[in-house]
Amino acid sequence: MAKITKKKEQPIILVTNDDSINAPGIKALVEAVKDLGRVVVVAPDKPQSGMGHAITIGNPLRLNKVHFIDGVEAYTSNGTPVDCVKLAVDKILHRKPDICFSGINHGANHSINVIYSGTMSAAMEAAIESIPSAGFSLLDFSLEADFTAAKTIVKKIAIQMLSKKLDKHLLLNVNIPAVPEKLIKGIKVCRQAYAKYKEDFVERKDPHGKLYYWLTGIFVNFDKRKDTDVWALKNNYVSIVPVEFDFTDYEVKKKLESWKF
- 201 touching a second copy, by CB under 8 A: yes
**Residue among 34, 96, 194, 219 that touches a second copy (CB under 8 A):** 194
Residue type, 237: Y
What single-letter DSSP state applies at residue 4?
P
> How many residues does this entry show for the chain?
261
| Footprint (CB under 8 A) of a second copy, residues 164-193 | 164, 167, 170-172, 186-187, 189-192
**Residue among 51, 100, 108, 139 that touches a second copy (CB under 8 A):** 51
| Footprint (CB under 8 A) of a second copy, residues 139-168 | 156-157, 160, 164, 167
| Min dist. Cβ of residue 150 to a second copy (A) | 14
**Residue among 65, 91, 168, 185 that touches a second copy (CB under 8 A):** 91
Please count the other Cβ atoms lying within 10 Å of the Cβ belonging to residue 139: 20
Q: Which is nearer to a second copy, 83 or 140 (CB)?
A: 83
Q: Are 111 and 229 in contact (CB under 8 A)?
A: yes
- Rounded to an integer, what distance in angstroms lies between the CA atom of residue 148 and that of residue 32? 9
**Residue among 204, 220, 224, 235 that touches a second copy (CB under 8 A):** 204
- Rounded to an integer, what distance in angstroms lies between the CA atom of residue 67 and that of residue 78? 16
**Residue among 56, 73, 162, 221 that touches a second copy (CB under 8 A):** 56
| Min dist. Cβ of residue 70 to a second copy (A) | 26
**Residue among 129, 133, 140, 232 that touches a second copy (CB under 8 A):** 129
Q: Which is nearer to a second copy, 34 or 96 (CB)?
A: 96
Burial of 24 (0-12, 13-18, 19+ CB in 10 A): middle
- Rounded to an integer, what distance in angstroms lies between the CA atom of residue 190 and that of residue 17? 23
Beta-bridged to residue 203, according to DSSP, are: 213
